[in-house]
């Protein structure tokens, strides 16, 4: 049961303050089909998003099964969204290049469930919406009504208590709209369905309750509800409150977020390293990936900042299927001991590699440059190749390879890809000058023009990193080796002291 108490939500823009929700109080039953009607801009979508935890209310309270959400943290909202809510949008939001089945399965990837279990549930959900025969098609091979049914199956696959639908029939003709409404009506038999619609006829015909809103206020409610006068509701509420406590937190939401955030940005080599680590040390691998990932993000940030590749869209020669990753991780976390005493091999590497696909970069680049209009919006297109220049510096008469940095080899890890984690000071300058010349102030010297020239990039606070100082041969490389040893093996941290100052000319 959901209770909204005097919910207010404002959107502040430079020009004005918009009261999207202006004191909404509404109690919703565990099982009913509520239609929200109202003119465009009246706050319907905002209301739905607040109910679903996609958007936060400014004041008031949303009470879920008798529990206030005032003190909810992000993690609690995650759990609520992942376990209690299913969303259906007007525009379906299906992933076009995935099959219908994969689209529905995706909603379960964060549940930590096994692949077989996910597939089974997804098939059941699709059968329920009458699409058992279509599971291997792609969304583009379906009609609008069928796509919306896929979206409903996806929303229902983890059996949420509440289904929220924002103008689900907005893009459908009247006949297919009726099919979708019939389906929602059925769905509302054993859960709460809240649907925003523009269409009063459909609302009247199918919903069990109509709530009208205008200017962020409820103006009419055909079947108001007071749970305190409903002893059954009170009993259920107490029971649910107890059960809620035992419900699992969204176990993989961290991992999901992590994978989502860097999957697309990782270089192939960095990915290879992560795979190697995860595969060889299992659970510890996850902890290590977690700590390394911070480095990855810093590295990505530093590329974006240092070379002003603002929000680069990157494409790599090898693509990776995120679901395969998650599956492999889920297996690491969730597997239970098999019945027999035999020790079997969990083929993590195979699961990882099964997700690899090849991209035809040449055709993609030609398409982007000559056929699409993306270059009207992009500043430049850059290519990079899996080439590691070997760069040496001289310190006290001794040669030292600084890229890929040999002290990383010296640690015994011998993984030059560690360079991809920001453990190196060297980056390739973009080919196109517009990507950096406007954004940096040249302090001394000139921009590099030849392949054997370097530019030293200072932070906005005028500093260089110690890593750069070692790479440039300004500091003894032995010190860097010792620091790496300390970092990786926990050996004694060397006494480094103050690193002094340099002039721009130096």
Residues that bind ligand ADP (CB under 6 A): 11, 13, 18, 20, 38, 40-46
Minimum CB–partner distance for residue 172 and ligand ADP (Å): 18
| Cβ within 8 Å of residue 319, ≥6 positions away | 356, 357, 358, 359
Minimum CB–partner distance for residue 168 and Mg ion (Å): 12
Between 137 and 217, CB nearer to ligand ADP = 217
Tokens of 240: 């649910």
Q: Which of ligand ADP, Mg ion, none does 46 bind, CB closer than 5 to 8 A by kind?
A: ligand ADP
Ramachandran quadrant class, 62 (left: phi over 0; alpha: psi -120 to 50; beta: rest): beta
Between 45 and 485, CB nearer to ligand ADP = 45
Between 1 and 165, CB nearer to ligand ADP = 165
Q: Which of Mg ion, ligand ADP, none does 264 bind, CB closer than 5 to 8 A by kind?
A: none
Minimum CB–partner distance for residue 116 and ligand ADP (Å): 40
Strands ordered across the beta sheet of 209-214: 85-88, 162-166, 192-197, 32-37, 209-214, 217-221
Nearest of 421, 399, 423 to residue 477 by alpha carbon: 399
User: Cα angle vertex 206, ends 200, 212, to 5°?
Assistant: 40
Question: Cβ(89)–Cβ(164) under 8 Å?
Answer: no
Beta-ladder partners of 63: 3, 68
Each residue 236-255 as x (binds Mg ion by CB under 5 A) or -, in order, gives: --------------------
Between 11 and 447, CB nearer to ligand ADP = 11
Minimum CB–partner distance for residue 108 and ligand ADP (Å): 29
Q: Which of ligand ADP, Mg ion, none does 42 bind, CB closer than 5 to 8 A by kind?
A: ligand ADP
Q: Which of ligand ADP, Mg ion, none does 447 bind, CB closer than 5 to 8 A by kind?
A: none
Each residue 60-89 as x (binds Mg ion by CB under 5 A) or -, in order, gives: ------------------------------
Q: How far is CA 62 from CA 23, 24, 414, in A?
A: 12, 10, 54
Nearest of 495, 487, 497 to residue 423 by alpha carbon: 487
Task: Give dist(CA 477, CA 471) in Å, integer.
Answer: 8
- Which backbone phi and psi does 473 adopt, to 5 degrees? 80, 20
**Residue 82 burial (CB < 10 Å; 0-12/13-18/19+)?**
buried
Q: Which of ligand ADP, Mg ion, none does 84 bind, CB closer than 5 to 8 A by kind?
A: none
Minimum CB–partner distance for residue 353 and Mg ion (Å): 43
At which residue do the structure tokens 């790599």 appear? 316
Beta-ladder partners of 309: none
Interface with Mg ion (CB under 5 A), residue total: 1
Task: Give dist(CA 167, CA 160) in Å, integer.
Answer: 19
197 binds Mg ion (CB under 5 A): no
Q: Which of ligand ADP, Mg ion, none does 392 bind, CB closer than 5 to 8 A by kind?
A: none
* 3-class SS of residue 320: strand
Between 56 and 241, CB nearer to Mg ion = 56
Minimum CB–partner distance for residue 196 and Mg ion (Å): 6
Strands 192-197 and 162-166, how do they pair?
parallel
Using CB under 5 A, which of the segments 41-49, 76-84, 99-107, 134-142 binds Mg ion?
Answer: 41-49
Q: How far is CA 210 from CA 182, 206, 222, 405, in A?
A: 16, 10, 5, 67
Q: Which of ligand ADP, Mg ion, none does 271 bind, CB closer than 5 to 8 A by kind?
A: none
Minimum CB–partner distance for residue 44 and Mg ion (Å): 5
Q: Which of Mg ion, ligand ADP, none does 20 bind, CB closer than 5 to 8 A by kind?
A: ligand ADP
Between 218 and 323, CB nearer to ligand ADP = 218
Between 41 and 448, CB nearer to ligand ADP = 41
Give the footprint of Mg ion on residues 115-144 (CB under 5 A): none
- Which backbone phi and psi does 3 adopt, to 5 degrees? -125, 125
Tokens of 4: 């909204």
Minimum CB–partner distance for residue 255 and Mg ion (Å): 32
Between 47 and 184, CB nearer to Mg ion = 47
Task: Give dist(CA 489, CA 380) in Å, integer.
Answer: 42
Q: Which of Mg ion, ligand ADP, none does 43 bind, CB closer than 5 to 8 A by kind?
A: ligand ADP
Minimum CB–partner distance for residue 20 and ligand ADP (Å): 3
User: Cα angle vertex 248, ends 247, 253, to 5°?
Assistant: 140
Minimum CB–partner distance for residue 46 and ligand ADP (Å): 3
Between 30 and 166, CB nearer to ligand ADP = 166
45 binds Mg ion (CB under 5 A): yes
Minimum CB–partner distance for residue 261 and ligand ADP (Å): 23
Residue ranges binding Mg ion (CB under 5 A): 45
């Amino acid at each position: 049961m959901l209770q909204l108490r005097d919910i207010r939500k404002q959107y502040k823009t430079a020009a004005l303050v918009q009261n999207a929700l202006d004191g909404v109080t509404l109690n919703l039953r565990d099982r009913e089909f509520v239609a929200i009607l109202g003119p465009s801009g009246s706050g319907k979508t905002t209301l739905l998003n607040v109910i679903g935890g996609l958007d936060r209310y400014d004041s008031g309270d949303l009470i879920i099964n008798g529990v206030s959400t005032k003190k909810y943290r992000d993690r609690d909202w995650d759990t609520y969204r992942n376990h209690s809510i299913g969303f259906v949008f007007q525009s379906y939001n299906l992933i076009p290049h995935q099959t219908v089945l994969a689209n529905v399965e995706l909603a379960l990837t964060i549940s930590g469930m096994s692949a077989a279990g996910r597939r089974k549930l997804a098939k059941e959900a699709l059968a329920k919406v009458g699409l058992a025969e279509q599971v291997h098609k792609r969304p583009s091979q379906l009609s609008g009504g069928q796509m919306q049914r896929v979206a409903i199956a996806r929303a229902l696959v983890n059996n949420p208590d509440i289904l929220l639908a924002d103008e689900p029939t907005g893009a459908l003709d009247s006949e297919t709209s009726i099919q979708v409404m019939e389906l929602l009506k059925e769905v509302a038999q054993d859960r709460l369905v809240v649907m925003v619609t523009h269409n009063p006829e459909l609302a009247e015909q199918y919903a069990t309750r109509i709530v009208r809103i205008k200017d962020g206020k409820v103006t009419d409610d055909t079947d108001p509800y007071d749970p305190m006068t409903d002893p059954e509701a009170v009993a259920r509420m107490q029971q649910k409150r107890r059960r809620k406590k035992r419900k699992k937190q969204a176990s993989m939401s961290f991992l999901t977020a992590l994978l989502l955030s860097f999957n697309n940005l990782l270089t192939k080599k960095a990915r290879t390293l992560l795979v190697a680590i995860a595969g060889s040390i299992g659970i510890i691998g996850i902890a290590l990936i977690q700590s390394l990932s911070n480095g990855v993000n810093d590295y990505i940030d530093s590329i974006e900042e240092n070379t002003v590749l603002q929000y680069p869209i990157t494409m790599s020669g090898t693509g990776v299927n995120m679901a395969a990753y998650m599956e492999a991780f889920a297996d690491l976390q969730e597997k239970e001991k098999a019945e027999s005493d035999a020790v079997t091999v969990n083929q993590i590497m195979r699961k990882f590699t099964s997700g690899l696909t090849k991209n035809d970069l040449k055709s993609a680049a030609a398409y982007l440059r000559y056929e699409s209009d993306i270059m009207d919006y992009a500043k430049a297109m850059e290519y990079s190749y899996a080439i590691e220049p070997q760069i040496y510096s001289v310190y006290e008469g001794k040669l030292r390879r600084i890229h890929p940095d040999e002290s990383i080899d010296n640690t015994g890890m011998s993984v030059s890809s560690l360079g991809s984690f920001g453990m190196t000071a060297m980056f390739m300058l973009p080919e196109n000058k517009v990507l950096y010349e406007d954004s940096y102030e040249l302090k001394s010297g000139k921009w590099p023009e030849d392949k054997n020239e370097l530019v030293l990039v200072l932070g906005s606070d005028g500093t260089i990193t110690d890593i750069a100082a070692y790479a440039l041969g300004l500091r003894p490389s032995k010190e860097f080796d010792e620091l790496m040893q300390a970092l990786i093996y926990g050996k004694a941290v060397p006494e480094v002291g103050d690193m002094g100052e340099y002039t721009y000319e130096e």
